[in-house]
Amino acid sequence: MTERYSPTEAKLALARTAELQVARERSTVGVTREELQRIAGDTGLDVDLLDQALGELEDSRVQSHLQSRLLATVVRCELLRPLSDDERTELSSRLAHERGESGRWEELPSGRVWRSPSLRLELRSTARGDLLRVTARKRWPVLAMALGVPAAAGALALAVRALYSWKLGIESIAVAVFLGALVLGWFLVFVLDGQRSRAAGERLRALLEQTVRPLPAAPSTPSPPRALPE
């Protein structure tokens, strides 16, 4: 008996075959349309369907940019098409789940805005499609640089001054310790915040791209009628 695969399994198998073939051909510099057409012919895929898939890919292409600032992490995504209402609802739902907080949509003259306690999603129409801008506000780096680091540096300077109070020139030593600890603390906060913000921003960017670039559904084929028992 010939084994049969579901449409989803067949799609995954063909996609994996094409992925392996592309990796064998040119793993780092990308593949041209002509090379994809040749690979499709080698793997038994319909070239016309490949052209249709490439057209859908162009329509759903996303240009995203990530920028990490001291007060916020900003992710910008430019779509070459308008965002549907279902995608907008799905995007706000995923963002709320990612941040663990609820939000709501607002209509502004500049476009639609979804707000939550620590997130702001702006949706604006452009001549090419839609522009999404997600701003994730940060609080702990500002508090650390404004309160935590100076307090720790001051405590260290006081400890040095109390420990070596019998020596001459202790005031200058305490000031030097305070300034050195202050600079070092701010530098560490900046580095740690940069690493953390980059990881959080990449998660946000992946979430946006997964939402606005869903995998096209395979066309459904009617199941053959089952014979009734006699």
The tens digit of pLDDT for each residue in 175-210 reads: 888 888 888 888 888 788 777 777 777 888 888 777
Tokens of 70: 């001291």
* Assessment of whether the complete model's pTM goes beyond 0.75: no
Cβ-in-10-Å burial (0-12, 13-18, 19+) of 91 comes to buried
CB environment 7-17: b (16+ within 10 A), e (fewer): eeeeeeeeeee
pLDDT digits (tens, 9 = 90+) for 101-136: 888 888 888 788 888 888 888 888 888 778 888 888
User: Do 201 and 210 meet the contact criterion of CB atoms below 8 Å apart?
Assistant: no
Query: Nearest 5°: phi and psi at 59?
Result: -65, -30
Q: Indicate the domain borders of the chain.
A: 14-59, 62-138, 140-195
Give the DSSP H/E element, type plus range, for residue 180: helix 170-212
